[in-house]
Amino acid sequence: MKLWSKGATQTASAIERFTVGHDREMDQLLAPYDILGSLAHCKMLAAVKLLTQSECNQLVKELRDLYNQSITQGITIPPQAEDIHSYIEALLTEKLGDTGKKIHAARSRNDQVLVDVKLYIRNEIESLVEAVQPLFSLLIQQSERFKHHLLPGYTHLQLARPSSFGLWMGAYAESMVDDVITLQSAYRVVNKNPLGSAAGYGSSFPINRSLTTELLGFEALNYNVVYAQMGRGKAERITSAAMANLADTLAKMSMDACLYLNQHFNFISFPAELTTGSSIMPHKKNPDVFELIRAKCNQLRALPNEILMVTTNLPSGYHRDLQILKEHMFPAFQTLKDCLEMMQLMISQITVRENILTDEKFAYLFSVEEVNKLVLQGVPFRDAYVQVGKSIEAGTFRYQTEIHHTHEGSIGNLCNPQITSLMQEVVAGFQFTRVQQAIASLLAD
């Protein structure tokens, strides 16, 4: 049951096992998208008279039924089928006879899998952006809640300047804005239609690629058919880089949380049910969730390089190397969404210690504050710096813990409404509704 089978010598079983690999498992995820691509292709074939309207209607009905099955029950690819593409065509042929065999006209498995992967990644990016929103909103909320709770700021892991939990949480919220901007860039690359490029060199049939672009809700075509094939691997690499940015934000925040939970820092705590213990040390409250988020996100940060190494030095055209990108890429989406969900759970239950900076071991956090006071009294900055430095060396440094930071983005002016507006603007720029409406129309009776 292979699309390329001509009834001649069969492929050796060892070769088939090796070349198919984990493709059937990965293709389970592509089933609804393969059906959507086939629906659009079928409607286009009818529009250019390569199918009769009656044949198109029969195919559309069966494809819509299969789509509903793929969403509600899933579609299991049997061992005798090579992949989801051949299996869907086999099901249509079994049900409709020769009409089912006609659906592959004017396309290749190459552009079929290209459109499937793009539709899948497009949907997963939308899902990721949706998963970011609750954590972003929580960070903004907690930033406001804890904006007056001071904590030490560090450079080189040495005491630097006063910070606040509001500033700390707001920083990660704004970081996520830029992460979503990179996801939007990836979305725009992915949201272009490769269908009709066939094996990478187009078709002699008078197909209408603009029609399938519209039906599938793509923003534009991949116009050049050779480039459409070259986009395999590139779309995955660009998307994985955007995912790595978001993973980096979560990993860094996890590392902060592990430090702050440490008894020597003792800045934050969590309910016992959100931590784990030790088999021999009864006092332990381990930050396993943060450690696993950190580890999983560090793996995700390696994803762009994994994809790059698979695709390095491949010439133009399709190569079987590209098949294994699915094994790296597809599970990564769920991993990242799991990390977002767990980070949200932990941050929602965080307890922040108050009055941390009243401890004298944090005295030097206020050295710059004392320098600035002298500057405001008319002392040149460099002279004020030397004066305070000498008092520290002499052990005579005196300070006050009151701080007055008012500029945009500082402890006293977090600009959380502006950060929220930035996120709203970025999310609105995806125009997800346009895609959702196109797919709904394609599936409508």
- The amino acid at residue 312 is T
Question: Which fold, 110-358+415-443?
Answer: Fumarase C; Chain A, domain 2 (1.20.200)
Residue 7 is inside which H or E element, if any?
none
Please say if the pLDDT value at position 245 is more than 80: yes
Would you give the DSSP letter of residue 219? S
Q: Report residue 198 CA to chain centroid gap.
A: 29
Give the mean model confidence (pLDDT) for residues 30-51.
Answer: 98
pLDDT of residue 20: 67
**Residue 81's pLDDT band (cuts 50, 70, 90):** confident
Share of the chain above pLDDT 90, in %: 86
pLDDT of residue 16: 67
Please say if the pLDDT value at position 356 is more than 70: yes
Residue pair 127/150 in contact by the 8 Å Cβ criterion: no
Give the mean model confidence (pLDDT) for residues 337-356.
Answer: 97
pLDDT of residue 445: 66
User: Domain 13-105 sits in which CATH superfamily?
Assistant: Fumarase/aspartase (N-terminal domain) (1.10.275.10)
- Which residues are bridge partners to 159 per DSSP? 154
Give the mean model confidence (pLDDT) for residues 48-72.
Answer: 98
Share of the chain above pLDDT 70, in %: 96
**Nearest in space to 225 (alpha carbons), one of 324, 114, 84:** 114
- Output the CA–CA distances (angstroms, integers) from residue 186 to 14, 121, 210, 355, 362, in the order listed: 38, 9, 22, 44, 44
Strands 192-193 and 220-221: parallel
Give the mean model confidence (pLDDT) for residues 161-189.
Answer: 98
Please say if the pLDDT value at position 177 is more than 80: yes
Domain ranges of the chain: 13-105, 110-358+415-443, 359-414
Average pLDDT of the chain?
94
**Residue 14's pLDDT band (cuts 50, 70, 90):** confident
pLDDT of residue 4: 44
Q: Is the backbone of residue 309 left (phi > 0), alpha (psi -120 to 50) or beta?
A: alpha
pLDDT of residue 218: 98
Q: Report residue 328 CA to chain centroid gap.
A: 13
Please say if the pLDDT value at position 63 is more than 60: yes
pLDDT tens digits for range 99-156: 999 999 999 999 999 999 999 999 999 999 999 999 999 999 999 999 999 999 999 9
Give the mean model confidence (pLDDT) for residues 195-224.
Answer: 97
Using only C-alpha atoms, the chain has a radius of gyration, in whole angstroms, of 28
Residue pair 293/256 in contact by the 8 Å Cβ criterion: no
pLDDT of residue 10: 65
Give the mean model confidence (pLDDT) for residues 39-43.
Answer: 98
DSSP of 113-148, one letter per residue? Answer: HHHHHHHHHHHHHHHHHHHHHHHHHHHHHHHHHTTT
Angstrom distance (rounded) from CA 190 to CA 238: 9
pLDDT of residue 64: 98
